[in-house]
Chain A
């Protein structure tokens, strides 16, 4: 008996091992099909079709109304499922184990589309009826990987820049917003000299630390910094990026930031700016959403303003985030795949004017007006997009944990050189994993 059993066990082991060597997330759909998909009419009947949308904690209400209206119009059932934070990690893990929704909120940058293996997992959205409706500055700004569109932008992409308290500026005699990074630092020194807190950073929750380095790289990014980094021709440890890290550190050491910089949170940062405890914060749009949740448009217009900043001027750094866009998955079920496309064209079609009004946000379509109730700071932020340059997440092929290394620096656990070398090491490893030449 054991004579039969042994080869049987061996065969089983081999079968298991070979099974192990195929990616469970790969599925059965063929990767090569890029034939333009059909785009069903917005209100084609979809009785009995069920769509699932994955959303994060901070985006799970964005699609709610649209989904409900879509259900009424077509008979389809739309479920919005909240995936726990850290959202990107959780989604990648789920997809890796073969679990896929029909649609998901996703950061539409090239590096994040690479991370989700867009070519394999996502439906191409080329030829969608809504593409022509986008305002020219946004049309091809994001959502595209290797010339194929994989993400549908639904709200205006975030721009990294300076959110400031107008009353605090007035109090310390700053009449106009600074015209470049050094001018901003000069203003900051003026505020500090008079006993104020110029900048507020949320080092306790880490992720915003990278904005300080990225805005300093805006001009270099316009001149192709990230292309060189992508080819391995320039490194984080070279002067351009390293100096930006050093500058950030020196401003912190100079005492231009809040005292509790290592433990302060996102919520603390919002409160500090709104109450005038601090004058400025370099942040993205979710920061302003937080302020909106706490106060009225009138109050915000009175108190809060926005200006983009870069070393040589006022170039903003854009960084579309996960709440700005949706991706549609290849699920292998043609009916649901078509329904997912239909949902997107409904959202960015008939439903769009109502959506913009509901969300009280800036419109990204030429034919749809931005509601008058949108706060000025948000309009200023959106207006800076045209001139802006892509962030590391947009222009680099992969997205290393720069923010984490910077937070370590704030906590006194790493020097700027260590931050640069650790980030470069991770960049190399990720670049190698995606098979980028030169790594």
Chain B
């Protein structure tokens, strides 16, 4: 049908799409529709019947100051992760650009955290960052004095440490994409730059970086929007504490669901979907527009 409209014959039978579509339908489309429907009901663990309640959940959720507080935490988290993950990824890509044996080994090592379970990463850092953990032990050794800083119990800075952990876990992926971007820059362009006598910083600023625009789009968008949806690292390290200063929205949703308030939890996740969509479109449009300069 679509083929007829565009006047082109598809190279494969459309039936090939069925398995992928079926998976999309069951695991993505249907849950999304449920998410929308349940947000308007009073579904809870307390009773068996589920009734339509209109916008009650939304007004409850919005009146409750926790949601807005958590959204703020979530936004700070996402922006910080987007910045750190890209800085680390780009830095590593530039550092490990040449195809030497050592670089290849280093790339593999740096990619390993990407493959690790985020919960496991969280628990490892929780152990490392305890007041009596290894990080403080190392700092004590080098500084010659007793360091007993509670990394995960600081109401002002713990959020920052969490974004660094998150960025550390995912920087390998950003690095890989930046590396791929760097590989697409043709040797002639770089050679022309060299003949013009530009230094390394100028090469990066005026030649390499503009060519990396598509990689930046992908990396910034996935880091920003992906970390809006984060849960595991914060849950495993702080569980939202101290004093809810690291309580990102998904932890609140999890907590509300655990209270038996299933409909309210669903409403919040719907709010999260809306917020992410509102962020996604302008971000992606802006980044794509940057690419057009090429």
Contact A23 B261, beta carbon cutoff 8 Å:
no
> Is A276 engaged at the interface, CB distance under 8 Å to the other chain?
no
- Report which of A16, A407, A410, A429 forms a contact with B261, defined as CB distance below 8 A: A429
A:256-304 near B, CB below 8 Å: 262-263
Chain A residues contacting B131 (CB-CB under 8 Å) are 263
Interface residues in B2-54 (C-beta closer than 8 Å to A): 30, 33-34, 37-38, 41-50
- A263: min CB distance to chain B, Å: 4
Are A117 and B33 in contact, CB atoms less than 8 angstroms apart? no
Size of the B side of the interface (Cβ < 8 Å), in residues, is: 40
Are A17 and B243 in contact, with the CB atoms below 8 A? Answer: no
Contact of B46 among A86, A114, A408 (CB under 8 A): A114
Partner of B34, one of A20, A95, A426: A20
Question: In the bound complex, do residue B260 and residue A92 qualify as a contact, i.e. CB atoms below 8 Å apart?
Answer: yes
A371 CB–B CB distance under 8 Å: no
In the complex, A401 Cα to B256 Cα: how many Å?
A: 10
- Give CA–CA (A263, B239) in the complex, Å: 13
Cβ–Cβ < 8 Å partners of A22 in chain B: 50
Residue of B nearest to A425 (CB): B64
Query: Which residues of A are found within 8 Å of B60, using beta-carbon distances?
Result: 429, 432
B48 and A413 contacting across the interface, CB-CB below 8 Å: no
Q: Is the Cβ of A434 less than 8 Å from the Cβ of B46?
A: yes
Could you jot down 20 A-B contacts, CB within 8 Å? Answer: A16-B33, A17-B33, A17-B37, A23-B48, A23-B49, A88-B258, A90-B258, A93-B257, A95-B45, A204-B241, A407-B241, A411-B243, A413-B155, A413-B243, A425-B64, A429-B64, A430-B259, A433-B44, A433-B261, A434-B47
Contact in complex: A2, B1 (CB < 8 Å): yes
Residues of B within 8 A of A2 (CB): 1
Residues of B within 8 A of A86 (CB): 258
**A20-B243 in contact (CB<8A):** no
Query: For the complex, what is the distance from the CA of A204 to the CA of B243, rounded to whole Å?
Result: 10
CA distance A92 to B256 in the complex (A): 12
Q: Which residues of A contact B241 (CB under 8 A)?
A: 204, 206, 407, 411
Contact mask for chain A residues 89-130; partner B; CB cutoff 8 A; 1 contact, 0 none: 110110110000000000000000011110010000000000
Tell me the smallest distance from the CB of A296 to a CB of chain B, in Å: 27
A262 to B45, CA, bound (A): 32
Q: Give the interface of A toward B (CB within 8 A).
A: 2, 13, 16-17, 20-23, 25-26, 31, 86, 88-90, 92-93, 95-96, 114-117, 120, 204, 206, 262-263, 401, 404, 407-414, 422, 425-426, 429-430, 432-435
Which residues does chain A contribute within 8 Å of B64, judged by CB atoms? Answer: 425-426, 429
* Cβ contact within 8 Å between A92 and B258: yes
Chain B positions 195-234 with a Cβ under 8 Å from a chain A Cβ: none
B66 at the interface (CB under 8 A from A): yes
Contact B153 A413, beta carbon cutoff 8 Å: no
Task: Say which residue of B43, B45, B150, B245 sits within 8 Å of A92 (CB atoms).
Answer: B45
Q: In whole angstroms, what is the CA distance A206 to B243 when docked? A: 10
B residues lining the A interface (CB < 8 Å): 1, 30, 33-34, 37-38, 41-50, 60, 63-66, 131, 150, 153, 155, 241-245, 254-255, 257-264
A117 engages B37 (CB within 8 Å): no
Min CB distance A299 to B, Å, is: 25
Give complex CA distance A206, B239 in Å: 11
Please tell me if the beta carbons of A89 and B50 are within 8 angstroms of each other in the complex: no
Q: Which of B49, B66, B241 has the most CB of A within 10 A?
A: B241
Task: Please name all residues of chain A whose beta carbon is closer than 8 Å to the beta carbon of B47 when the two chains form the complex.
Answer: 117, 120, 434-435
Ranked 4 nearest A-B pairs via Cβ: A89-B258, A413-B243, A411-B243, A26-B48
Chain B residues lying within 8 Å of A262, measured Cβ to Cβ, are: 153, 242
A413 to B37, CA, bound (A): 35
Q: In the bound complex, do residue B42 and residue A433 qualify as a contact, i.e. CB atoms below 8 Å apart?
A: yes
Q: How far is the CB of B148 from chain A (nearest CB, A)?
A: 9
A411 & B155 in contact (Cβ 8 Å cutoff): yes
Residue of A nearest to B38 (CB): A20
Q: Do residues A401 and B260 form an inter-chain contact, with CB atoms below 8 A?
A: no
CA separation between A413 and B150, bound complex, in Å? Answer: 17
In contact, A25 and B153 (Cβ under 8 angstroms): no
A116, B45: Cβ atoms closer than 8 Å:
yes
The residues of B that contact A263 with a CB separation of less than 8 Å are 131, 150, 153, 242
Q: B38: which A residues are within 8 A, CB to CB?
A: 20
Q: Which residue of A lies closest to B69 (CB)?
A: A413
Q: Contact check, B258 vs A96: say whether CB atoms are below 8 A apart.
A: no
| Cα(A432)–Cα(B46), bound, Å | 10
State A262–B245 Cα separation when bound (angstroms): 13
